[in-house]
Structure 1
């Protein structure tokens, strides 16, 4: 009988995956990197186009919508119980758990179409910006 321990002993979560080691600090950094990515690039343009009052009002409105949708996604992390339910690691797993198979396929099509559209939009925007830089 072999009594040797492995060099790295991994702690497992209740669902059999490696235990996550994140904390409030790492979560905050991830949120900041997501928000800073696209938000800071468009902030100056929004303020220039809308002015101080409408620009600040639109930024506050969109940040409120973002907070609301982030809370909805966070509430869908475990199903059916928020403490002991099965974890949904992806958006599509949460859609399948809550809405079923047909909506899972439909939402998948919408999600990947949107992703492709955003990718094309960023590519066109970056190429036109590089032309102006040149």
Structure 2
């Protein structure tokens, strides 16, 4: 026969551990209570370079070569203008509705929610996921062709 020799004592009480951070007069917090960002021009440049280059750098030269000497650089220049315009629009939406006193938008979906609101948030989220799936499929196909 099986015998249970384990004594069942009452569960230990949960210990409450909390840190009280007062924000009165502190230079570490923004006006909305989040920690201030400590980035510099160098860290921002590093993030931009890694975001723009990414894994697409592996196929960029091949894609431009397939387009030729005239169309390839023209498309590359057009995409750089599109990237610049969209990044400045997104930067302008960081605080909305007022650029100085407006609420901060920490995510892309936060921007869409504050500017467009309602059903557009769901549609934008759906478009983002479709784009993510398409890019994933594209990278998978490119990787398999490169392996061959």
91, 106, 111: which one pairs with 1:89? Answer: 106
Gaps of 5+ in 2: 1-20
The residue that corresponds to 1:15 in the other structure is: 32
Gaps of 5+ in 1: 1-5
**CA positional deviation for 1:38:** 4.0
Q: Name the count of aligned residue pairs.
A: 125
Cα separation, partners in 2 of 1:118 and 1:69, compared to 1, 3 Å: same
Cα separation, partners in 2 of 1:72 and 1:100, compared to 1, 3 Å: same
73, 78, 103: which one pairs with 2:95? Answer: 78
Distance 1:10 1:124 in 2: 49
Cα separation, partners in 2 of 1:96 and 1:102, compared to 1, 3 Å: same
**CA positional deviation for 1:23:** 1.3
Q: What are the equivalent positions in structure 2 for 1:1-134 lying under 5 Å apart?
A: 11-130=28-147, 132=148
Normalised TM-score (structure 2): 0.76
| Secondary structure of the structure 2 residue equivalent to 1:117 | helix
Normalised TM-score (structure 1): 0.84
1:87-108 Cα offsets, whole Å, 9 max, x none, are 1111111111011111111111
Deviating above 4 A after TM superposition, structure 1's stretches of 4 or more consecutive aligned residues are none
Which of the pair has the greater relative contact order for Cα pairs under 8 Å at 6+ separation? 1
For the aligned residue pairs, the C-alpha RMSD in angstroms reads: 2.1
Cα separation, partners in 2 of 1:90 and 1:20, compared to 1, 3 Å: same
